[in-house]
Amino acid sequence: MSEPHVEVTAQLIERYVSLTASAREKSTPLHDPDSAEGVRLSTMMEMADSYTSDAKWFAEQGDLVRAFGAINYAHAWIDCAVKIGLLDGHDDDNLFTLP
């Protein structure tokens, strides 16, 4: 078992940004972009991308706590889209909470 993290570091932020990028890249839409579900998914992915951008900006400013919070929100949007059936997580239970 690995050591618990007791502080938010730049390396931890980088790890979670990379993890979230992997989740964004691996997941694929399950619905046509013009369908109601596709439109909802687009909104969710815009939120994920915005939070990822915010996380990077906070990290650049040295605000690692807010960066950590933002990148976790970003990943949660992607994970949620998999969980409710808008994205396919391709059975990856390391990146996603699968249905």
User: Could you give the domains of the chain?
Assistant: 18-88 (1.20.1270.90)
The C-alpha atoms of residue 1 and residue 53 are separated, in whole angstroms, by 31
Contact in structure between 25 and 78 (CB atoms under 8 Å): no
Give pTM, 2 decimals: 0.91
For residue range 70-88, list pLDDT tens digits in order. 999 999 999 999 999 999 9
For residue range 32-44, list pLDDT tens digits in order. 999 999 999 999 9
For residue range 9-18, list pLDDT tens digits in order. 999 999 999 9
At 99 the pLDDT is: 67
Indicate the pLDDT class of residue 98, thresholds 50, 70 and 90.
Answer: confident
Contact in structure between 78 and 98 (CB atoms under 8 Å): no
